[in-house]
Structure 1
Amino acid sequence: MKILKTILFTLFALAFINAGLNEFFHYMPTPELPEETKKVFAALMVVPWILPLVGIIEAIGGLLALFPKTRTLGAIVLLPVMVGILAQNFTVDPAGAGIGIAVFLFIILLWILFDNKHKLKGIFS
């Protein structure tokens, strides 16, 4: 179980590092997006610093989540981004393929937080 957990947590971290770096280097092809999603991205482009900020947060959160000592902090940093990804997928493109990946990543994020709940007790007390 520990090996599976390590592999999943590492892949989770690498997925966000990759997504964050792609915001700057655009090395991954963009799939054809639904019209509603295109409208959302067009609105985000009005404020030119939003997507680079999300990219920085994804990369930093992924780097933090990569290492066991800072994994909990990385999960906390990525939580608002992950909520935004889920909200986007559920409201704009609920039938899209991205929703399964988003839910899977969110489950891993919750697993990281639950696995490290002893580190979070100070926040909630």
Structure 2
Amino acid sequence: TIVGERGASLSGGQRQRLALARAFLRDAPILILDEATSALDSESEAAIQKALRKLVVGKTVLIIAHRFSTIRDASMILVFDKGRIAAQGTHTQLIADNPLYRTLYERQSTQSLA
């Protein structure tokens, strides 16, 4: 694949995979992933998330995401509502204790089944 100037000939998913590879090659102790898998199909997203689980061990990772599949395994999830932190906890805790998180999760789960 010819990359071109600033990755112009790459798809959004290819650019995301390249950016993730560069981040992990740097072996930075802190990673910020902003919608890191948003341009990927579900199969590629699953493969990237499997690799991420191994690569983030011992690192501090801040993940900004709208897909619950991206954050499900996080040790701490912050739920924002109207610009403020509305809740925090693990996925399991938030499903059990937070109506906003639970509702959003159920909506997204229902949409993915449709």
Normalised to the residue count of structure 1, the TM-score between the two structures is 0.29
- Flag the structure with higher strand content: 2
- Flag the structure with higher helix content: 1
- Tell which has more relative contact order, 1 or 2 (C-alpha 8 A, sep 6+): 1
